[in-house]
Structure 1
Amino acid sequence: MSNETKESKFNSERKQTVRTPLYKQIRDYVLDNIQQMNWQPNEKIPSENELAAKFNVSRITIKNALLQLIEEGLIYRIQGKGTFISANKQGEPPVYRLLQQHDKTVAYLMPRLDNRFTANLLNGIENQLAEEGYHLLFCETHDSQEKENEILKRMIRFGVAGLIIYPAHSQTYNEEILKITLNEFPVVVVDRYLRGVETNYVCSDNVKGSFDATAHLIQSGHRRIGFVSTHAHGTTSIEDRLTGYEKALSEHNILIDRHLRMLNLDSKQVNTILQNGAGHPDSKEQIKHYLEQNSDLTAVIAVNSTVGLTLMEAAKEMPISIPEDLSIVFLDDYELSAFSTVPPTCVSLEEYTVGREAVKLLVSIIENPQQKRRKIIVPTRLTVRNSSAPPGAGKQIAATLLN
């Protein structure tokens, strides 16, 4: 039967059976298309607006019709994408409760394990899982959304009790994470959350940490304060740090100058400083150009330790003295801070606590799947060391030596 015939049949039956609720009639229309295989598994169906226009009803009526089919597992929604036909009557993905062979095992997905932050986060997760009586499966995604997607599917097939995910850097959401979230699989996101999507997550208070770092520099007398970062778009932890920086400037009546922001460093390039002991040449050249273009800068916020270390190295080669000519604050700490030539002022993100809190939340969800989704923000801590000082400190030192 063609779609036109069905629509005609629908309108005719609507007149003859006034007592039948409209949403049930539309549910039958969608169900008929599924049964007749007009819409194939995982195929997107017409949007709510399209269905509402087709049958001259409200979107509320359409929502009620589709809700019944979602509850029956015949269709599933992906926020921002649309509504799709399920491959089976259990929806997408298959209901996890059927897989119980590893019900005391939790999988943790992380982009990489190459610095103090990621090591402390993993340590917090592992220690808390042991206290809760759970085992850990740790998987590196190498900051690849494709790899992340592959591992997620494998872990669900394996039958883990729950997932902790440190999302791969990307400008778009991983659809597999959206699917398991919508299907109420026990999952907690750490460090980065999915903006606009209701998920359970635990992260550092990136806004407050960046605010405190910027306020520290302002209180030291700085007014021309830059912000240097890897690509920010799509990574909420970086976006929130940028928000904190701008909020501090605004609250202290300092004009936000977007020329003082550098947000295009390559994360893979700057991360090599931890393995090679030297900053990536391309990243250093970018930073040098930025500093030359903004010669009136007296202080810079570095989005994390790898950016901060690369920034220090680039400044030294120019040469710019730290903190005499330029103050720097890291929005992250690293292993050898106290032993550096210039120990950096930094914001500790309390990542070990983030890991432990993520496990506590996940276990709570496993034991009570029907609870409301929760967001836990862990307070940060500012540690003042030698990389920050009042502006003009170099001139003050020189004057003192001359006298």
Structure 2
Amino acid sequence: MEAAEEKEDSKKNNVKQTKRKTDKRKDKSMASGKAFMYETIYNDLLEGIRNGTYPAGSRLPSEKELAGQYGVSRITSKKALELLAERGMISRMPGRGSFVLETAVKQTARYSTPQIPETNGQTQEIRQTGRTIGVILDSFDSDYVANYLRSMERECSRRGINMLLKCTYGSIEAENQAIKSCIEIGAQGLIIMCAQNETYNTTIVKLALDKFPVVLIDRKMQGLSIPCIATDNHRASRELTEMLIERGHKQLVFVTHASMGTSSIKDRYEGFVEGIMEDAGINGCVLEIPDYNPTPGNSPIGEASYDEEGFKKLLLEHKEYTGYLCIEAKLCYLLRKAMKETGVTGEIVSFDGTGDMEHEKVIAYVRQDERAMGVMAVDILEKIVRGESISEDICVPYRVIKLNDI
């Protein structure tokens, strides 16, 4: 699906206007059953970028050259290169080739893959107690994540599984260390809520290629044969968008933070765009909360680090917009706070609820079934540990909770 963006002046560089175009949503390929050769090619090229074999500006082997080197079709080698391009690692120039970007070298240097330890020696005491899995989350600061955690812990206890818990607070480096630590202690599998980032963590890619049991929750890694348990974010976002339109709103805002590359946020954005495309009289824009850091520590909801004055300035500059879709509960809180302080009016729909969602400006929110997702994550991981081959993503039903008698 395409959404052309109008150029903005420097004062509004945080706002991306979404023009309407009639187009179809791109089909999303689903990995099935086994690790594919394009994953191997992708990982080898990524390692070559990291270790300097392919420095910034260098040309990667062509689709034809890679196909010959790995004994695969050009379709397979093309998919590996396209995945690198989607991750912002290379630039593909028709007729010239694929070239490594400077940003790719910096990213791979910063997020280099730590050595994953061998796990043959049963030296840790916890190994003697039976089955062990690791659960790695990116934060604890929302009801959504807390419900997930509660569900997984109860299911592990019911099944007699030891559960190791790690939190990354959005850091790729911490995520790498958490993976390494869990495996060293003796985890036979991992449940991971990936840190929100524009690029894939190469450690998780390596786990997939090594067939180490992994289940993702909430955020999938497109193109890798790792199952992900998540809500149908695209459909839910479109439903919220259509609700705003039915309420008479013509100017809609998608309120997010900078991590638009995260699959769940990307799907919500695509659902938002698809919703506004159904009516020629609807306009939409994206508002990114400036300098947003959702997890500056163990802060309660509403105490994220962000440019509060910059956010209020953006709201005032776009006060003609009256319908707001927030990608998560914390952003909904920050938006309500800014609207109150600036006098900007409008109605809000959001993903995930908190104890204070009963607010005059919030008309509805998506309630995800974290309990079901947590149980499914543990169940699927245990099946993979036992040797079953599972790579399909699973969409868990959600509910739209309407508020204020709408």
Same fold flag (TM > 0.5):
yes
Task: Give the superposition deviation at 1:314.
Answer: 0.8
| Kept after mapping to 2: 8 A contact 1:202/1:354 | yes
- Identify the match of residue 223 of structure 1 among 240, 244, 250: 250
Kindly provide the amino acid, as one letter, of the partner of residue 237 in structure 2: S
| Counterpart check, 1:380 vs 2:406 | no
Task: Give the superposition deviation at 1:138.
Answer: 0.7
Kindly provide the amino acid, as one letter, of the partner of residue 109 in structure 1: I
Kindly provide the amino acid, as one letter, of the partner of residue 335 in structure 1: G
| Counterpart check, 1:314 vs 2:332 | no
Partner of 1:295, secondary structure, is coil
Q: What does 1:363-402 correspond to in 2, within 5 Å?
A: 363-369=382-388, 371-386=389-404
Partner of 2:271, secondary structure, is helix
Q: Deviations over 1:304-339 (max 9, x none)?
A: 11111111111111223xxxx31011122113334x
Partner of 1:213, secondary structure, is helix
- Identify the match of residue 327 of structure 1 among 325, 334, 347: 347
| Other-structure match for 1:191 | 218
| Kept after mapping to 2: 8 A contact 1:301/1:329 | yes
Partner of 1:275, secondary structure, is coil
Partner of 1:335, secondary structure, is coil
| Other-structure match for 1:238 | 265
Q: What does 1:264-283 correspond to in 2, within 5 Å?
A: 264-268=289-293, 275=300, 282-283=306-307
Task: Give the superposition deviation at 1:264.
Answer: 4.2
Task: Give the superposition deviation at 1:143.
Answer: 1.3
Determine the C-alpha separation between the residues in 2 that align with 1:219 and 1:249.
Answer: 11
Q: What does 1:3-402 correspond to in 2, within 5 Å?
A: 59-64=66-71, 80=84, 93=116, 101=127, 104-257=131-284, 260-268=285-293, 275=300, 282-320=306-344, 325-338=345-358, 340=359, 345-369=364-388, 371-386=389-404
Q: Deviations over 1:18-56 (max 9, x none)?
A: xxxxxxxxxxxxxxxxxxxxxx9x96879xx98899xxx
| Other-structure match for 2:12 | none
Task: Give the superposition deviation at 1:64.
Answer: 4.0
Q: Quick check: which one's helix share is greater?
A: 1
Determine the C-alpha separation between the residues in 2 that align with 1:273 and 1:336.
Answer: 19
Task: Give the superposition deviation at 1:381.
Answer: 1.3
- Equivalences, count: 313
Gaps of 5+ in 1: 1-39, 66-78, 83-91, 390-403
| Kept after mapping to 2: 8 A contact 1:104/1:133 | yes
State which structure, 1 or 2, has the greater radius of gyration over its C-alpha atoms: 1
Task: Give the superposition deviation at 1:125.
Answer: 1.1
Alpha-carbon RMSD across the aligned residues, in angstroms, is: 3.4
| Other-structure match for 1:8 | none
Determine the C-alpha separation between the residues in 1 that align with 2:147 and 2:62.
Answer: 51
Q: Structure 1 residues 273, 250: closer, same or farther in 2, change over 3 A?
A: farther
Determine the C-alpha separation between the residues in 2 that align with 1:51 and 1:310.
Answer: 47
Percent sequence identity is: 25
Partner of 1:337, secondary structure, is coil
Determine the C-alpha separation between the residues in 1 that align with 2:52 and 2:302.
Answer: 50
| Kept after mapping to 2: 8 A contact 1:120/1:352 | yes
| Kept after mapping to 2: 8 A contact 1:270/1:307 | no
Instruction: Name the TM-score, length of structure 2 as normaliser.
Output: 0.68
Determine the C-alpha separation between the residues in 2 that align with 1:256 and 1:96.
Answer: 55
Task: Give the superposition deviation at 1:263.
Answer: 2.3
| Kept after mapping to 1: 8 A contact 2:326/2:349 | yes
Determine the C-alpha separation between the residues in 2 that align with 1:279 and 1:145.
Answer: 19
Q: Deviations over 1:157-188 (max 9, x none)?
A: 22211100111122222111111111000101
| Kept after mapping to 1: 8 A contact 2:346/2:361 | no
Kindly provide the amino acid, as one letter, of the partner of residue 63 in structure 1: Y
**Relative contact order, higher structure (CA 8 A, sep 6+):** 2
Kindly provide the amino acid, as one letter, of the partner of residue 330 in structure 1: S
> Higher mean Cα deviation, 174-183 or 95-104?
95-104
Determine the C-alpha separation between the residues in 1 that align with 2:172 and 2:259.
Answer: 17
Partner of 1:247, secondary structure, is helix
Instruction: Name the TM-score, length of structure 1 as normaliser.
Output: 0.68
Q: Deviations over 1:130-167 (max 9, x none)?
A: 23321111111121111110121121122211100111
| Kept after mapping to 2: 8 A contact 1:198/1:373 | yes
| Other-structure match for 2:32 | none
Q: Deviations over 1:266-288 (max 9, x none)?
A: 442687896276676x5432332
Q: Structure 1 residues 310, 190: closer, same or farther in 2, change over 3 A?
A: same
| Kept after mapping to 2: 8 A contact 1:279/1:309 | no
Determine the C-alpha separation between the residues in 2 that align with 1:286 and 1:297.
Answer: 17
Task: Give the superposition deviation at 1:60.
Answer: 4.3
Determine the C-alpha separation between the residues in 1 that align with 2:206 and 2:398.
Answer: 32
Partner of 1:160, secondary structure, is coil
Runs of 4+ in 1 over 3 A off after TM superposition: 42-46, 49-53, 57-61, 79-82, 92-103, 252-257, 264-267, 269-274, 276-280, 340-344
